[in-house]
Amino acid sequence: MRSPLPSPDSSSVLDLAPVVPVVVVEDAADAVPLARALVAGGLPAIEVTLRTPAALDAIRAIAGEVPDAVVGAGTVITPAQVDEVVAAGARFLVSPGWTDVLLEAMRASGVPFLPGVSTASEVVALLERGVREMKFFPARAAGGTAYLRSLAGPLPQARFCPTGGIGPDSAPDYLALPNVGCVGGSWMLPADAVAARDWGRVEALAREAAGLSAGARCR
């Protein structure tokens, strides 16, 4: 069992910051300076997606060299991936969807996890299995804030991290919902800034995203 998440209020991924950066790392050498920029901007929870060959090395580097970061792995879809990313140092897991086999592997990993849902039936099925925190994906395509608002009444015990099609303009609308703990997005990591290794710009954009908590999260 890995150590709990470092948060003054909760061990929940949903409570670490208003925004979880969704990071696609093409070059593992960029992982540490990128993570340091995000943390300096106030976004400690970092989801590294398993979409590139560099992803595992990136998770390993961030876990080993950026102590204030809470690095997680996204796009986890198999039990084998669960084992690989936890061994690399991932401290939370995110999936775009779930099966009972994947859910059991994530539960057995000993780290927090956010299985993906996009329908009320999937939410109910996870609640039956004792899971209350979920990723809502793809958020915009699956109904956006209107859909999540409609779930809050009948299923108030479920909390979400919506991801997919969310930017700085729409994020506050999601964060204002009572059943949303945080949102996932990549707008603070524009491709040209990452390509130029302009970590100062990344830090500034991260700070703006972290600042969304000041107003949008007031219930």
Q: Name, in order, each residue with C-beta under 8 angstroms of 118's C-beta and a sequence gap of 6 or more.
A: 97, 136, 137, 138, 142
Angle of helix 100-108 versus helix 79-88 axis, rounded to 10: 20
Bond before 172 cis per omega within 30 degrees = no
Residue with tokens 């949903």: 14
What whole-number distance in Å separates Cα of residue 6 and Cα of residue 108? 21
DSSP 2: P
Residues annotated as catalytic (active site), given as ranges:
47, 135
